[in-house]
Structure 1
Amino acid sequence: MGGTAPIRIGTRGSQLALAQASEVRSRLMVAHGLDESDFEITVISTSGDRILDRPLSEVGGKGLFTKEIEEALLDKRIDIAVHSSKDMATLIPPGLYLSAFLPREDVRDAFIGRAAPTIAELPQGARVGSASLRRQALLKRMRPDLEVVTFRGNVQTRLRKLDSGDVDATLLALAGLNRMAMADVATEILPVDSFPPAPGQGAICIESRLGDERTDGLVAAICDAPTATALAAERAFLARLDGSCRTPIAAHATLSGDTLSLHGMILTPDGTRLHETRLTGLVADAARLGEEAGRQVLDEAGAAFFAGWAGSVR
């Protein structure tokens, strides 16, 4: 880079987070003819990585996976931050924004069973571990007899807990397994229509400082427009529902030409009640469609839908 300072990429330190940061670096290298030495990957420990003994909602929600990284970005200790889009809160700190999205990976969830290879074949009362309230609610809807328990930690930690017999099965995002060349651990891939993903699942995003023209020019070259459009709809849906780690929400937007289709869903944590909507409109109206979908499910569910489980945890 002709003697200029290296581009500092901030990331969490898990194997998956490092794989995602490396993918961003590789795409930037190809797009701009840069060398690996033109980059520094800076590992930042987040509260979400350190606090593993409590549900996220008890200690601050999904923002715990981004807070320290965003502080480093604002302090100019890093130039860009790489995140899993599903970890991003709907409100971004002032001075920062989501500047790019990489092409989306598979959005589906993967079931990893030890007691049985599929959810349907699990024995009565089997224990299934998950850190996601959405997955917990969908599981309980499918199999009310299952014991669904909170299961925190990165991919490798969860698999170790599974192998040690803490639970009989768990669920992970297929995208992450694919990025780590570990898809073979999945024993069942769940259909997206009946087991829809979290908003943003499968998409890597880049966060930048507003007004940083140097990094804006770099990341613009690797931004995938279809993914950015789909996530504009999904994140608008999430924002309209005031989505948090206390809220079981699913959303999946797909594009076909100039048309965007959005499937949005909200459930009670026990999975007994569900409200969903499917909207289709123009790609140019992605955010408006997401907001409208959120309004529809809220209107259908009614205020009583949220009564009694506002304190439920992820």
Structure 2
Amino acid sequence: MTTVRVASRKSELAMTQTKSMIAAMQKIRPDFLFEIVPVVTRGDEIVHVPLSEVGGKGLFVSEIEQLLLKGHADLAVHSMKDVPAELAEGLTIGCVPVREDPRDALLTRHGEQLRDLPMGGVVGTSSLRRAAQIHHLRPDLVIQPLRGNIDTRVKRLQQGDFDAIVLASAGLSRMGWSHLISERIDPHDILPAIGQGALAIECVDEEGEVRAMLRELTHEPTLQCVQAERTLLKLLGGSCQVPIAGHAEQVDACIRLTGLVATTDGKTVCKATSVGGASAELGQAVARQLQEQGASDILAAYV
């Protein structure tokens, strides 16, 4: 029997996502034996410093990529929003399954929505993207850093450390915690992270039975939307070290992509939308519009 080793971070959310993908793969290849290879990444270990100060989202991926390259794992399940625009050489994203809700979720202690939070309310997030857009909408709110696994963040809200916290709706849904959400924030108000809500199954860039299996699990509309978003991210040269957002969605036979670059204080926001049929060209079009609005100058300040 062929054994497929699947690398995953040890967090409860990561394990939940990985087990769901293994269940889907097992249906396609019941003759395969799937084995989880748990990994603790630097991003998991460094929880008291914002990601933007210690290397960005690659901290959740780089150790896992080394396992794949060294042959110690065959696949890795990532949250797409944690995957850098550039993969390690020799690796590829072999599968993008159907996307969960891409929106950000507001969690509050008393069920308030973003517009209802009291003046001077404290909102927990370590995302520069979220902080910039919250500042733009509600400059009176106070943003304080919040790192850690999803369960740790929820506990800190419940303990009263914050009036509200912002998490990804997808992670809460996958954990079965949708009931905790006070508001699923409209992307017109807060644009999601690149790839938010989608999963990425990474593997070595070689043909074989594993790649063939992954192709069967790929959801083409999600793949096309994610490719448009990641093209935008790559052209802007961004990571979580800069306040960049992007969201693509199917509109009839086309894709509509909206991108955003902002200063962390939310005072300057560049935002652009384009509709088209080709992912790469769409990403290029939105990147060009943002650069024409001055996004390059904003991004240069974070290099």
What TM-score comes out, normalization by structure 2 length?
0.96
1:71 aligns with 2:66: yes
- 1:230-309 aligned at under 5 Å gives the runs 230-282=225-277, 285-301=278-294, 303-306=296-299, 309=301
Partner AA of 1:53 in structure 2? H
Structural mapping, 1:83-232, within 5 Å: 83-114=78-109, 117-232=112-227
Report Cα offsets for 1:242-274 as digits up to 9, x if no partner.
112221111111123431111111111111111
Q: Paired residue for 2:302, among 290, 310, 314?
A: 310
SS of structure 2 residue aligned to 1:20: helix
Equivalent residues of 1:98, 1:207 under 8 A apart: yes
Which amino acid counterpart does residue 79 of structure 1 have in structure 2?
D
* 1:203-252 CA distance string (max 9 Å, x none): 01100101152321121111111111001100001111111222111111
Contact residue 11 and residue 21 of structure 1 kept, 8 A: yes
Structure 2: which amino acid aligns with 1:274? Answer: V
Distance across 2 between alignment mates of 1:276 and 1:120: 21
What do residues 265-309 of structure 1 show as CA deviations (whole Å, max 9, x unaligned)? 111111111111111111xx11121022112101211544346x4
Q: What is the deviation of 1:121?
A: 1.6
Query: Structure 1 residues 76, 212: CA separation in 2 closer, same or farther (over 3 Å shift)?
Result: farther
Give the Cα separation in 2 of the matches to 1:132 and 1:293: 22
Identical aligned pairs, as a percentage? 37
CA contact (8 A) 2:55 2:241 kept: no
1:12 aligned partner: 9
The amino acid across from 1:66 in the alignment is V
Structure 1 letter corresponding to 2:21: V
- Give, as a single letter, the amino acid of the residue that structure 1 aligns with 2:20: E
- TM-score (normalised: structure 1): 0.93
- What's the CA shift for 1:33? 3.2
Shift of 1:182: 0.3
CA distance in 1, matches of 2:113, 2:86: 37
Write the distance in 2 (CA, Å) between the matches of 1:69 and 1:79: 10
SS of 2:116's equivalent? coil
Q: Residue 43 of structure 1: SS of its match in structure 2?
A: strand
What residue ranges of structure 1 are gaps of 5+ in the alignment? none
Q: Does 1:30 align with 2:27?
A: yes
Preserved contact between residue 109 and residue 173 of structure 1 (Cα < 8 Å) = yes
C-alpha separation between the residues in 2 aligned to 1:306 and 1:46? Answer: 27
CA contact (8 A) 1:139 1:271 kept: yes
2: CA distance between counterparts of 1:302 and 1:60? 21
- Equivalent AA in structure 2 for residue 262 of structure 1: L
Q: Which runs of 5+ in 2 are unaligned?
A: none
Letter of the structure 1 residue corresponding to residue 122 of structure 2: R
* Distance verdict in 2 for CA 1:86–1:303, change over 3 Å: closer
Q: 2:261, 2:295 within 8 Å by CA — same for their partners in 1? A: no
**Aligned-partner Cα distance in 1 for 2:206–2:250:** 30
Q: Whole-Å Cα distance in 2 between the matches of residues 131 and 257 of structure 1?
A: 35
Aligned counterparts of 1:305 and 1:177: Cα–Cα separation in 2: 32
Does the aligned pair in 2 maintain the 1:115–1:122 contact within 8 Å? no
- The Cα shift of 1:187 comes to 1.0
Partners of 1:213 and 1:291 in 2: CA distance: 32
Alignment check: 8 A CA contact 2:242 2:299 kept: no
Is 1:115–1:169's contact at 8 Å kept on the other side of the alignment? no
Question: Hey, what's the Cα distance between the residues in 2 that align with 1:131 and 1:34?
Answer: 43
Q: CA RMSD in A?
A: 1.5
Contact map agreement 1:281 1:289 (CA 8 A) in 2: yes
Secondary structure of the 1:221 match is: helix
Pair 1:61 & 2:56 matched: yes
CA distance in 1, matches of 2:233, 2:297: 19
Deviation, 1:63, is 0.2
Distance 2:157 2:274 in 1: 38
**AA partner of residue 17 (structure 1):** A
Contact kept? 1:28, 1:34, Cα under 8 Å: no
